[in-house]
Chains A and B, each alone.
Chain A
């Protein structure tokens, strides 16, 4: 089974973020990592490859994602591709999805894995968009999968219920936490990743016209809460006072 994993490079969540130019722009510390959920997807692809008896696992990134692609190779992916085009950075998710779908279609696939969402935009748009563009079914938030009868049996938790689904391949799955615990790459993997030839494509190579992205119209920082108001006293006393405040002042009860 050939498995394509869509890997996005995102700012580390510890990276400093500052609103600058009077809300006109965002200054983000240059600390970048492979998206948390995509790491799970890479690890899941490797596990499925073993369970399914071979095939290829390859990583595809779009935009400034070279390190993410290398990271996936260091984790064990066989090859990597990058849509390397200035028009992809800050592009609309649909442009990104069209580019990724075009690479995957050209390389051949039985299964595409994406993350449940990227930690920078928390959108979860690109995976299902790719599925639609490839004309294959999509299951989001997957926490288990194994090969069965030429397809897959997939597990997931949705709204407090758990599901087992029969999914024909080709298909797109998005990876949720709890599927596989990603392992830190070994030295051998890191060496292989450094030397790996990354296949580069431009939007023109792929025949993808970018769609105009929606315009950013300003940023602001997180709402700063007023300093916390401490409620004193023994538990019963504090609880009584708190409930009074929540009812009469905060008006949430």
Chain B
């Protein structure tokens, strides 16, 4: 048996989540159990980080895999896993896992768990933790010994792992496969910034920011902290920001190390998207705002003044 990690690329390397999964796989592997990274498509040329950190890298190149496309990926990943003997296959939550993992699971007849937050070794296999009912409770799920696919939220594990292994690299080519879905148009998003769900720091704002123009204050603090910007639904509904950066029940779920939230009241629909953040700082004019119940640190004050002051203080730290 082995633990497999499905790689994803980012920039000219691997997505941080891939590194987290590889590191955690090493921690929970049984004695002598290998950790294998599966690098498909664009990951093939970006898998350098894995060298020394996993036992084996399986690289799969082939038509249709770059840029990412669901049908060819499903075919390639399922074909490799079908003849491997994985005990666990780890994925990073995101669009790609959402498109590929359930289909691979259905094709192979293996169970799948999405949206997981923790992975531990347990008697007779492993167990994973996942939120249920919008984070009102958390459930441990036992995986047993049969193969299972699990997708984990970004920022669930420490990516540090010793590069002390002799990594074997295997190169394969996938059967040609064309996607049945054709891309007519794709506009690039804001390429520079870290994706919201991946970011170590998220600066979020709500209706308390008063005006679309003031979202620039979030961006400025996010830039100072090297983070991403999120907003509440009220901000999206007001047309100040795109739904793509909404945090909450009907938006994105984030688990950053630091979540700074200004001018957001703290409705459960919002907090269920950020409650697994490690440290939360809330800024609100109302000392009784519910958001303070979800915060570690609070400032009662005007976001329009506190946000720029914070950005200045962070920048002062760097100089």
Interface residues of A (CB under 8 A from B): 11, 13-15, 17, 19, 26, 28, 36, 92-94, 97, 119-133, 136-141, 153, 157-168, 171, 177-178, 211, 213-223, 225-226, 228-231, 235-236, 238-240, 242-243, 245-247, 250, 252-253
In the bound complex, do residue B182 and residue A166 qualify as a contact, i.e. CB atoms below 8 Å apart? yes
Residue among B140, B181, B301 making CB contact with A219, cutoff 8 Å = B140
8 contacting pairs across A/B (C-beta < 8 A): A13-B249, A123-B113, A124-B102, A141-B95, A214-B143, A225-B295, A228-B282, A243-B317
In the bound complex, do residue A121 and residue B103 qualify as a contact, i.e. CB atoms below 8 Å apart? no
Select from chain B the residue with minimum beta-carbon distance to A216. B139
Quick one: which of B76-118 are within 8 Å of A by CB?
94-95, 98-99, 101-103, 105-107, 109, 111-115
Which of B106, B114, B127 has the largest count of A CB atoms less than 10 A from its CB? Answer: B106
Contacting residues, chain B, for A253 (C-beta < 8 A): 225, 258, 314, 317
For chain B, what secondary structure do more than half of its interface residues adopt (helix, strand, loop), or is it mixed? mixed
Contacting residues, chain B, for A236 (C-beta < 8 A): 309, 312-313
* Given A129-B106, A228-B295, A239-B312, A94:B184 Cβ within 8 A: no
For chain A, what secondary structure do more than half of its interface residues adopt (helix, strand, loop), or is it mixed? mixed
Contacting residues, chain A, for B257 (C-beta < 8 A): 252
Residue among A120, A159, A219, A238 making CB contact with B189, cutoff 8 Å = A159
How far is A126 from B101 in the complex, measured between Cα atoms in Å? 11
B30 near A: Cβ within 8 Å? no
**Given contact pairs A128-B99, A161-B189, A238-B301, a sample of 15 additional A-B residue pairs in the complex whose CB atoms are under 8 Å apart:** A132-B74, A138-B99, A161-B187, A162-B189, A163-B186, A177-B243, A177-B251, A214-B143, A217-B127, A222-B135, A222-B275, A226-B296, A230-B298, A252-B201, A252-B258
In the bound complex, do residue A159 and residue B195 qualify as a contact, i.e. CB atoms below 8 Å apart? yes
* Given A125-B114, A228-B296, A246:B141 Cβ within 8 A: no
Contacting residues, chain A, for B292 (C-beta < 8 A): 228
Q: From residue B286, how far is it (CB to closest CB) to chain A in Å?
A: 13
In the bound complex, do residue B279 and residue A246 qualify as a contact, i.e. CB atoms below 8 Å apart? yes
Write the B272-286 contact mask toward A (1 if CB under 8 angstroms, else 0): 100110111110000
How far is A159 from B305 in the complex, measured between Cα atoms in Å? 31
In the bound complex, do residue B114 and residue A217 qualify as a contact, i.e. CB atoms below 8 Å apart? no
Quick one: which of B267-319 are within 8 Å of A by CB?
268-269, 272, 275-276, 278-282, 292-302, 305-306, 308-310, 312-314, 316-317
In the bound complex, do residue A238 and residue B306 qualify as a contact, i.e. CB atoms below 8 Å apart? yes
In the bound complex, do residue A219 and residue B138 qualify as a contact, i.e. CB atoms below 8 Å apart? yes
Q: From residue B295, how far is it (CB to closest CB) to chain A in Å?
A: 5
Contacting residues, chain B, for A247 (C-beta < 8 A): 317
Residue among A153, A157, A159, A161 making CB contact with B184, cutoff 8 Å = A153
In the bound complex, do residue B95 and residue A225 qualify as a contact, i.e. CB atoms below 8 Å apart? no
In the bound complex, do residue B299 and residue A131 qualify as a contact, i.e. CB atoms below 8 Å apart? no
Interface residues of B (CB under 8 A from A): 70-71, 74, 94-95, 98-99, 101-103, 105-107, 109, 111-115, 122, 127, 130-144, 148, 179-191, 195, 201, 225, 242-244, 249-251, 253, 257-258, 268-269, 272, 275-276, 278-282, 292-302, 305-306, 308-310, 312-314, 316-317
Q: From residue A246, how far is it (CB to closest CB) to chain B in Å?
A: 7
Contacting residues, chain A, for B138 (C-beta < 8 A): 219-222
In the bound complex, do residue B137 and residue A26 qualify as a contact, i.e. CB atoms below 8 Å apart? yes
* Given A140-B98, A141-B98, A168-B180, A217:B133 Cβ within 8 A: no
Contacting residues, chain A, for B131 (C-beta < 8 A): 122
Q: From residue A193, how far is it (CB to closest CB) to chain B in Å?
A: 25
Query: Which 9 A-B pairs have CB atoms at the shortest separation, nearest pair first?
Result: A160-B189, A239-B309, A132-B106, A128-B102, A17-B136, A161-B189, A235-B309, A132-B103, A123-B114
In the bound complex, do residue B305 and residue A137 qualify as a contact, i.e. CB atoms below 8 Å apart? no
Residue among A28, A131, A160, A238 making CB contact with B103, cutoff 8 Å = A131
In the bound complex, do residue B181 and residue A129 qualify as a contact, i.e. CB atoms below 8 Å apart? no
How far is A124 from B244 in the complex, measured between Cα atoms in Å? 17
Contacting residues, chain B, for A221 (C-beta < 8 A): 136-138
In the bound complex, do residue A228 and residue B297 qualify as a contact, i.e. CB atoms below 8 Å apart? yes
Residue among A133, A140, A213 making CB contact with B106, cutoff 8 Å = A133
In the bound complex, do residue B115 and residue A122 qualify as a contact, i.e. CB atoms below 8 Å apart? yes
Contacting residues, chain A, for B269 (C-beta < 8 A): 13
How far is A177 from B237 in the complex, measured between Cα atoms in Å? 12
In the bound complex, do residue A220 and residue B137 qualify as a contact, i.e. CB atoms below 8 Å apart? yes
Select from chain B the residue with minimum beta-carbon distance to A125. B102
* Given A94-B105, A235-B301, A246:B281 Cβ within 8 A: yes
* Given A28-B133, A221-B137, A231:B249 Cβ within 8 A: no
Q: From residue B247, how far is it (CB to closest CB) to chain A in Å?
A: 13
